[in-house]
Chains A and B, each alone.
Chain A
Amino acid sequence: MYVAVKGGEAAINEAHKLLAEERRGDLAVPELSTAQIEEQLSLSVDRVMTEGSLYDRKLAALAIKQARGDLIEAIFLIRAYRTTLPRFGYSAAVDTAKMGIRRRISATFKDIPGGQVLGPTFDYTHRLLDFKLAAEEGDEGETSGSDFAELPDGVAQLDDSMPRVVDLLKHEGLIEEERPGEKPESIGDLTREPMNFPVDRDVRLQNLARGDEGFLLALGYSTQRGYGRSHPFAGEIRLGEVAVEFVPEDLGFPIEIGEVTLSECQMVNQFKGSTEAPPQFTRGYGLSFGHCERKVMAMALVDRALKGRELGEVVDSPAQDEEFVMEHSDNIQASGFVEHLKLPHYVDFQSELELVRKMRRERREADLGEKDPQAVEAAE
């Protein structure tokens, strides 16, 4: 006798216990602290903060721990937490020209005012597994000293003035002006209003900033391979700390409320000219929390590709297609919908099953009927 499947509730509770066990792993191995994650898996923390749209290193580290290192799951935890936070207002726009620079490179000029600053980068490491890192585990005190760069007072050595490379081009009128959206007085908020296509650039950049790194990387890459080609140059990539200011209503002037680490990329792209305007370079922009260099570069490529409509270019590649890019960039939406296929669909499937059987029956009867009309009656 068939008994309807019961006990969904009990199953869920048991599943959660198993999950907790798996997360902890072998009890003989010391538990990972969120401080360790924050300090030693800092690029994971940066990605979770960026795509989770919440600048909080401690919470990001907690999310990574709880998610067992699954970054999209961690981003999800941060997003769900973020929605419940009260909103006091919007900060003043940060000024990345006043960034406390830790890294700053330009591929368009050999030297620039303020100089090139290589900073912490994997770029010129040889990708050879460093077995010392495995060997040194457990006796940490040893890894200080000569391996670390001796910064002769680090930041103090750098020029105070680090003008943005694109601003240098702008002085000469060589690069397009950044056009404010149609309503500069009211900047959109993707988390508070549904997107309505076509969207202005404010919402577009918000969407890309929290968009999935892998998705943007693939799209940016596709523009380089000819799908919406825009001849990019990395005008400037910078990493550092920027002050965040807020204007409390009762004060009426900005006060500094803290500092965030940002990565910024300004792409300089193929020039455009028309009968009205002389040729100018165009640009794409990328920005993230923390150090997410690959992300900001990809974002800048996609931002530039999405300007196709405004610039009157032929829009025929995926990266140029605003609805396509923006509707599919969010990994929380994407993973939710892909994974919802795990939910039961037996009602829909039953409906299809019934139809397919019916159609097959009809086909069989029709085939029989052609051969021998009497066989149909016999078959029935």
Chain B
Amino acid sequence: MTQTDRTRAHMSQAGTPASELPLLRVTELAKSYGGLPACRDVSFDLWPGEILAVVGESGSGKTTLLKCISALLSCDTGQIEYLMRDGVMRDIHALSEAERRFLMRTDWGFVHQNPREGLRMRVSAGANIAERMIAVGARNYGKIRGAAENWMDRVELDSARLDHQPNTFSGGMQQRLQIARNLVTHPRLVFMDEPTGGLDVSVQARLLDLLRSLVTKLQLSAVLVTHDLAVARLLSHRIMVMQGGEVVETGLTDQVLDDPQHPYSQMLVSSILPV
């Protein structure tokens, strides 16, 4: 079974309407820093409603990959095509900066490992959530505030703290706020870079539960970078194992984690406790 077949099988299994085109198609992507390859020959399709986990140790190239496909970094060779709302696949590096930035604040979300990178620390929680709504044209204060309150609830933050600044929040709360800020405009694709990294284990578990219910409810597609196989198991449908800048194994999450084929995947799996 080819990779695509396996994906399709998975998609119909998940009950998501099959589409002719993937949401994101990465073809032979390569990126190096000063002659040192950070990732090379990476290709994959991401289908609507699918969560893809990219796993590997630090230095495996997974974060570089995430930055390239989310247009934060330019890539040396290869193509990254995204299915625009008009149904056309377009290479994101060929988009004008205006189109790319528009995409980033409407169709896409980016959840950083460090919430401070994804939040405006000097404005209130409410203003953080409001920003994307305003960016797409919302101009009614009452409605914006109502939606912000609603999203505070959805990410299980006390809406009484709507006017408080994020630096009065704990790390876990800041991460919830960052998620709310990203999801308020209903993006179609979310990039997540170690979203639970740096949090206490108990906080991590609650956040994972929340993320899992949100992505299901909103039928989000996501590329999730993590070194934590437990996170990948809980959230992703499919998994891609990277080592030294290359993809060594791809498959359905359960398959790869239960029956890893590549020695490196085997090593990764055996080095963690089963979930």
Contact = CB atoms under 8 A, between A and B. Distances in A.
Interface of A: 274-276, 312
The 8 A-B residue pairs whose C-beta atoms are closest, nearest first, are A275-B35, A274-B34, A275-B34, A276-B35, A275-B36, A276-B34, A274-B35, A312-B34
A333 B183 CA distance: 45
8 contacts: A274-B34, A274-B35, A275-B34, A275-B35, A275-B36, A276-B34, A276-B35, A312-B34
B171 to A, nearest CB: 22
A309 B34 CA distance: 15
A217 to B, nearest CB: 31
A314 to B, nearest CB: 14
Given A274-B34, A275-B36, A312-B34, 5 more contacts: A274-B35, A275-B34, A275-B35, A276-B34, A276-B35
Contacts of A275: 34-36
A112 to B, nearest CB: 34
A274 B36 CA distance: 10
Interface in B12-61: 34-36
A275 B34 CA distance: 6
Contacts of B34: 274-276, 312
Contacts of B35: 274-276
Contacts of A276: 34-35
Contacts of A312: 34
A357 B156 CA distance: 38
A276 B36 CA distance: 10
Which applies to chain B's interface (DSSP): helix, strand, loop or mixed? loop
A275 B35 CA distance: 6
A275 B37 CA distance: 11
Nearest to A276: B35
Question: Chain B interface residue count: which class?
Answer: under 10
A274 B34 CA distance: 7
A282 B34 CA distance: 18
A276 B33 CA distance: 11
Nearest to A274: B34
A272 to B, nearest CB: 11
B76 to A, nearest CB: 14
Nearest to B32: A275
Contacts of B36: 275
A275 to B, nearest CB: 4
Nearest to A273: B34
B255 to A, nearest CB: 38
A184 B269 CA distance: 57
A39 to B, nearest CB: 54
A276 B35 CA distance: 7
Contacts of A274: 34-35
A72 to B, nearest CB: 33
A274 B32 CA distance: 13
A206 to B, nearest CB: 30
A363 to B, nearest CB: 15
A304 to B, nearest CB: 21
A284 B159 CA distance: 53
A274 B35 CA distance: 9
Nearest to B35: A275
Interface in B230-255: none
A364 to B, nearest CB: 20
Nearest to A275: B35
| Listed residue (A275, A276, A312) with the most chain B CB atoms within 10 angstroms of its CB | A275
A85 to B, nearest CB: 42
A278 to B, nearest CB: 13
A276 B32 CA distance: 13
A275 B36 CA distance: 8
A375 B35 CA distance: 76
A263 to B, nearest CB: 37
B35 to A, nearest CB: 4
A203 B35 CA distance: 31
A207 B36 CA distance: 36
B32 to A, nearest CB: 9
Interface string B63-105: 0000000000000000000000000000000000000000000
A196 B31 CA distance: 30
Nearest to A277: B34
B34 to A, nearest CB: 5
A101 B261 CA distance: 74
A332 to B, nearest CB: 31
A276 B34 CA distance: 7
B75 to A, nearest CB: 18
A359 to B, nearest CB: 15
Nearest to B36: A275
A176 B236 CA distance: 49
A312 B36 CA distance: 15
A360 B35 CA distance: 63
Nearest to A312: B34
A374 B187 CA distance: 49
B40 to A, nearest CB: 15
A316 to B, nearest CB: 14
